[in-house]
């Protein structure tokens, strides 16, 4: 490139010779008009950057783990301590000095939440679940509640489907005396895909009736529990009014427990018009931890019971007087049976329809008492009249106002 007598002898000399050449090349390209493609792309650069990076940022935010608050004492909803799924917290409440401990946990609409509380002491503890945006309890002592567990033995359990996304409030309330407690919280599933409507079912839509020496059935104070007292050894059916089931695709959930005696508890589904030609019954027998799914065919006033699944033990059933959550889902002829969040069976049968449901119990000991609570109904988008029922999916508006005494 250079004559031999002009070859650069070191790096500095080489740089001094090459620099003017690079400068000229740079001036040449800066004076040349840019191709149209680059001229159009430059103003749009911020838009391209947003398109590339926004999904990444959103995904990172969604993946952030729940961070629980450190142990503390929150006595009202605005001060609630954050809980995370899989967490167990301990605490103590006293009716006169510290009657409330309040927590909150984020739940997506359609997700289940399971709360298990075990308390010890000389008092009575109640477990309450309140929807997002619930007002403070304050001096009025009134709390908005969507689900509750008010068992007499302080072995409380709430299973519930969130009707809206947000922070739901969990309140441990001392109704009587002093108790230490352990509270475990689990969100076991993802929100279901597709469209759906969720409705809470009040026990006030069930009949209040009694017959001396036979039975008594009614809502308990507070409106969360429907109680059947079976005085003699027989069975009781409690109908829900008005009809709400809308085939082909829906699910029903209810929690139930035995207070005393020995009895099973079931959900049954039937047609209008005096039971029609038959009905179905899905139930739990807590004495031995068994479940069954029956089809009942009616002819000339006689019921014939056909086991679609005969009484079958399941490790997912909580025995004795502990609470069990029953879920029955129907999609045409396909039935899915779930107890405490675990599928225990499935059957195929479309012998009968079903637009109404009720609660059923059969006892083997006199003076048996059974309670049903926290009933919910889910209707899916492939239901023919879904557009009308979705409008009734009104979330927190279906909560009770409960006066804390």
Q: Quick check: 191 and 204 in contact, CB under 8 A? A: no
Judged against a pLDDT cut of 90, whether residue 15 lies above it is answered with no
Q: Which of 261, 264, 224, 245 is nearest to 353 (CA)?
A: 245
Backbone angles phi, psi at 61, to 5 degrees: -65, -40
Distance between CA atoms of residues 3 and 5, nearest Å? 6
- Structure confidence by residue, pLDDT tens digits, 358-385: 999 999 999 999 999 999 999 887 644 4
Judged against a pLDDT cut of 70, whether residue 339 lies above it is answered with yes
- Domain 196-380: CATH superfamily is Exo-inulinase; domain 1 (2.60.120.560)
Q: Which of 254, 134, 151 is nearest to 206 (CA)?
A: 254
Task: Name the average pLDDT for the chain.
Answer: 81
Structure tokens at 112: 């289940």
State pTM to two decimals. Answer: 0.80
Domain ranges of the chain: 77-186, 196-380
Q: Which of 387, 269, 246, 371 is nearest to 328 (CA)?
A: 269
Q: What burial letters (b/e) apply to 374-387, b meaning 16+ CB within 10 Å?
A: bbbbbbbeebeebe
Distances 383 to 23, 52, 216, 259 between C-alpha atoms, Å: 74, 39, 36, 37
- Position 203 scores a pLDDT of 84
- Any idea which fold 77-186 has? Jelly Rolls (2.60.120)
* Residue 10: CB atoms within 10 Å: 7
Q: Which of 200, 240, 254, 226 is nearest to 399 (CA)?
A: 200
Q: What burial letters (b/e) apply to 108-133, b meaning 16+ CB within 10 Å?
A: ebbbbbbbbbbbebebbbbbbbbbbe
- Structure confidence by residue, pLDDT tens digits, 86-137: 999 999 999 999 999 999 999 999 999 999 999 998 899 999 999 999 999 9
């Amino acid at each position: 490139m250079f004559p031999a007598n002009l070859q650069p002898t070191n790096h500095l000399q080489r740089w001094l010779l090459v620099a003017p050449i690079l400068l000229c090349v740079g001036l040449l390209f800066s004076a040349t008009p840019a191709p149209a493609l680059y001229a159009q792309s430059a103003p749009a650069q911020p838009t391209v950057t947003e398109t590339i990076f926004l999904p990444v940022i959103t995904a990172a935010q969604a993946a952030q783990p729940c961070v629980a608050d450190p142990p503390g004492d929150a006595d009202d909803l605005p001060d609630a301590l954050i809980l995370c799924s899989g967490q167990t917290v301990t605490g103590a409440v006293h009716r006169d000095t510290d009657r409330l401990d309040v927590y909150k946990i984020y739940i997506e609409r359609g997700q289940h939440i399971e709360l298990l509380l075990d308390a010890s002491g000389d008092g009575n503890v109640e477990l309450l679940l309140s929807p997002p945006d619930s007002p403070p309890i304050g001096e009025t002592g009134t709390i908005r509640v969507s689900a509750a567990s008010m068992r007499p033995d302080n072995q409380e359990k709430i299973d519930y489907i969130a009707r809206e996304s947000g922070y739901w409030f969990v309140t441990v309330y001392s109704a009587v005396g002093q108790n230490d407690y352990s509270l475990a919280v689990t969100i076991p599933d993802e929100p279901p895909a597709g469209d759906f409507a969720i409705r809470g079912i009040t026990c006030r839509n069930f009949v209040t009736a009694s017959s001396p020496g036979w039975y008594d059935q009614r809502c308990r104070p507070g409106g969360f529990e429907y109680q059947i007292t079976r005085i003699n050894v027989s069975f009781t059916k409690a109908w829900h009014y008005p009809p709400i089931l809308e085939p082909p695709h829906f699910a029903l959930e209810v929690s139930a427990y035995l207070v005393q005696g020995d009895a099973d508890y079931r959900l049954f589904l039937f047609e209008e018009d005096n039971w029609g030609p038959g009905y179905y019954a899905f139930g739990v027998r807590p004495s031995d931890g068994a479940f069954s799914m029956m089809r009942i065919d009616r002819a000339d006033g006689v019921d014939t019971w056909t086991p679609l699944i005969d009484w079958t033990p399941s490790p997912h059933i909580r025995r004795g007087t502990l609470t069990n959550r029953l879920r029955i889902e129907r999609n045409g002829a396909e039935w899915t049976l779930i107890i405490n969040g675990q599928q225990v069976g499935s059957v195929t049968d479309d012998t009968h329809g079903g637009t109404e449901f009720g609660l059923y119990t059969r006892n083997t000991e006199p003076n048996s008492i059974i309670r049903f609570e926290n009933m919910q109904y889910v209707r899916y988008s492939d239901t023919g009249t879904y557009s009308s029922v979705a409008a009734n999916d009104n979330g927190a508006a279906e909560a009770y106002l409960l006066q804390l005494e």
